[in-house]
């Protein structure tokens, strides 16, 4: 071996020795902890979704840790801190979580508000997922492919509603949207686009501002229009006010709604629920289903029924992350990112979850939607259809 070869060999050995501790630290070792840091909203307008999500996450974490942790070795720990729905504070909180040793970052239930924090996580090479933010363009705005969603997004949901409306034979729709948020606008736009594709006509479009308490003018226009279905992109408390105003006018046109209404609060919206349907997740709620098992665990832990679907989405999030870490065999950010991209048919509370070859886009899970109606007497959702839209608008 000449001197040059010896030098190369020595340098290779030195580099291997330097890198060995990093690789060892990322391996799944018994007794170690995988820390999920969550820049969550605890005190502002998104807390109504993040709070129930936290409970679902708790159940999944307890369930996994009771079995010894991820791959029976690594316990999961959740570090949840308040970012008050403030994008600037959100990024600061993500930085704190990274400094506190977070391996995976979760942001709040709004892809746009989450973005500064998500970009900061990506800079630190950590995968990041929005708790229930639904903008399909979200992951592509996070550098390095580190961004993920926990739901299939507004485009598919809008298309699902449109296909449901078309199947029901509705030809003319009147939509209610808001430009206050991406969710309350893009979903409605996706509905309109797919509905038109299917031969439908949008006979009217109305706008509201988040938090509006009176919809009398809009409701009057809708009720007196020749639309045969009303599509609303609202969620409580706005939906409650809107449906009450429609009820006062004696509206008889069917109403279709979005998953933001999957909460027991919606049952306070009155008689219009009898002619309403809604898209949500967790279509298989039959005895023995994952959803039912989750609800049982929830009742056992919290002594009450889950207050909204978000609880199940919290469970989904943790089991997806755990599956990715186990598949990666490592806690290293890039490895977990790549593994999460390849997660397929993981059993969540709402059904099977797949990120691999997602038809929507990278980082966006495919989950089946459920269309439900409302059993007001028993305050229960009744699943009438389960599926995924055949076609949906492209991610913009």
179 lines the binding site for other proteins (CB under 8 A):
yes
Question: In 3-state terms, the chain is what percent helix, strand and coil (to 5)?
Answer: 45, 20, 35
Ordered strands of the 201-207 beta sheet = 201-207, 172-177, 229-232, 255-257, 276-280, 369-375, 380-387
Q: Which is nearer to other proteins, 41 or 245 (CB)?
A: 41
391 lines the binding site for other proteins (CB under 8 A):
no
**Helix or strand holding residue 38 (H, E):** strand 33-40
Q: How far is the CB of 370 from other proteins (least distance, A)?
A: 27
H helices present in 263-394, as ranges: 290-302, 310-328, 333-341
Mapping DSSP onto H, E and C, the string for 75-130 reads: EEEEEEEECCCCHHHHHHHHHHHHHCCCCEEEECCCHHHHHHHHHHHHHCCCCEEE
Q: Which is nearer to other proteins, 149 or 324 (CB)?
A: 149
- Residue 70 and residue 326 in contact, taking contact as beta carbons nearer than 8 Å: yes
125 lines the binding site for other proteins (CB under 8 A):
no
192 lines the binding site for other proteins (CB under 8 A):
no
Span near other proteins by CB under 8 A; candidates 53-61, 175-183, 295-303, 313-321? 175-183
373 lines the binding site for other proteins (CB under 8 A):
no
185 lines the binding site for other proteins (CB under 8 A):
yes
Question: How many binding residues for other proteins (CB under 8 A)?
Answer: 33
**Helix (H) and strand (E) counts for the chain?**
11, 14
180 lines the binding site for other proteins (CB under 8 A):
yes
358 lines the binding site for other proteins (CB under 8 A):
no
213 lines the binding site for other proteins (CB under 8 A):
no
* CA–centroid distance for 115 within its chain: 15
- Residue 155 and residue 393 in contact, taking contact as beta carbons nearer than 8 Å: yes
95 lines the binding site for other proteins (CB under 8 A):
yes
284 lines the binding site for other proteins (CB under 8 A):
no
Q: Which is nearer to other proteins, 86 or 197 (CB)?
A: 86
Q: What is the DSSP letter of 366?
A: B
135 lines the binding site for other proteins (CB under 8 A):
yes
Q: Binding to other proteins (CB under 8 A): which residues in 40-59?
A: 42-44, 47
Please identify which residue in 11, 13, 25, 99 interacts with other proteins, judged by CB under 8 A. 99
116 lines the binding site for other proteins (CB under 8 A):
yes
Burial class (CB in 10 A: 0-12, 13-18, 19+), 14: exposed
186 lines the binding site for other proteins (CB under 8 A):
yes
Strands 346-348 and 255-257: unpaired
Q: Which is nearer to other proteins, 116 or 389 (CB)?
A: 116
Span near other proteins by CB under 8 A; candidates 24-32, 81-89, 288-296, 322-330? 81-89
- CB within 8 A of 64, min separation 6: which ones? 70, 76, 318, 319, 322
Span near other proteins by CB under 8 A; candidates 112-120, 273-281, 311-319, 370-378? 112-120
Separation CA 107–CA 115 (nearest Å): 8
Q: How far is the CB of 119 from other proteins (least distance, A)?
A: 5
Separation CA 28–CA 73 (nearest Å): 7
Q: Which is nearer to other proteins, 115 or 318 (CB)?
A: 115
The per-residue b/e assignment along 152-166, b for 16 or more CB within 10 angstroms, e otherwise, is: bbbbbbbbbbbbbbb
- Residue 374 and residue 382 in contact, taking contact as beta carbons nearer than 8 Å: yes
Q: Which is nearer to other proteins, 40 or 308 (CB)?
A: 40
Span near other proteins by CB under 8 A; candidates 135-143, 166-174, 190-198, 282-290? 135-143
Please identify which residue in 119, 239, 279, 330 interacts with other proteins, judged by CB under 8 A. 119
362 lines the binding site for other proteins (CB under 8 A):
no
Binding site for other proteins (CB under 8 A): 42-44, 47, 81-82, 84, 86-88, 91-92, 95-96, 99, 111-113, 115-116, 119, 135, 137, 140-141, 179-182, 184-186, 396
């Amino acid at each position: 071996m000449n001197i040059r070869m010896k030098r190369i060999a020595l340098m290779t050995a030195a580099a291997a020795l330097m890198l060995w501790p990093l690789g060892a630290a990322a391996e799944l070792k018994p007794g170690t902890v995988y820390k999920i840091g969550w820049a969550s909203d605890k005190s502002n307008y998104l807390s109504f979704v993040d709070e129930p999500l936290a409970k679902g996450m708790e159940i999944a974490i307890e369930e996994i840790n009771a079995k010894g942790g991820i791959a029976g070795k690594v316990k999961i720990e959740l570090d949840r801190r308040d970012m008050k729905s403030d994008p600037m504070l959100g990024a600061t909180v993500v930085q704190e979580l990274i400094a506190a040793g977070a391996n995976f970052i979760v942001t709040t239930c709004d892809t746009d508000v989450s973005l500064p924090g998500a970009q900061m996580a990506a800079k630190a090479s950590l995968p990041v997922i929005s708790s229930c933010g639904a903008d399909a363009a979200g992951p592509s705005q996070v550098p390095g492919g580190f961004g993920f969603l926990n739901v299939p997004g507004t485009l598919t949901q809008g298309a699902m509603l449109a296909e449901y409306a078309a199947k029901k034979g509705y030809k003319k729709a009147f939509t209610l949207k808001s430009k206050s948020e991406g969710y309350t606008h893009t979903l409605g736009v996706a509905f309109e686009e797919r509905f038109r594709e299917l031969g439908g006509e949008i006979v009217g479009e109305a706008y509201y501002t988040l938090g509006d308490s009176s919809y009398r003018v809009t409701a009057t226009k809708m009720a007196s229009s020749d639309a045969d279905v009303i599509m609303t992109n609202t969620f409580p408390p706005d939906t409650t006010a809107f449906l009450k105003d429609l009820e006062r006018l004696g509206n008889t046109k069917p109403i279709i709604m979005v998953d933001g209404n999957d909460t027991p609060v919606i049952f306070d919206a009155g008689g219009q629920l009898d002619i309403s349907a809604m898209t949500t997740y967790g279509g298989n709620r039959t005895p023995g289903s994952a959803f039912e098992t989750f609800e049982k665990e929830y009742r056992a832990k919290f002594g009450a029924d889950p207050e909204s679907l978000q609880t199940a989405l919290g469970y989904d999030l943790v089991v997806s992350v755990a599956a990715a870490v186990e598949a990666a065999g490592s806690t290293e950010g890039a490895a977990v990112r790549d593994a999460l991209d390849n997660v397929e048919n993981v059993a969540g509370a709402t059904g099977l979850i797949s990120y691999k070859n997602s038809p929507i886009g990278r980082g966006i899970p495919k989950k089946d939607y459920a269309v439900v109606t409302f059993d007001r007497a028993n305050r229960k959702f009744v699943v009438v259809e389960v599926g995924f839209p055949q076609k949906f608008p492209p991610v913009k």
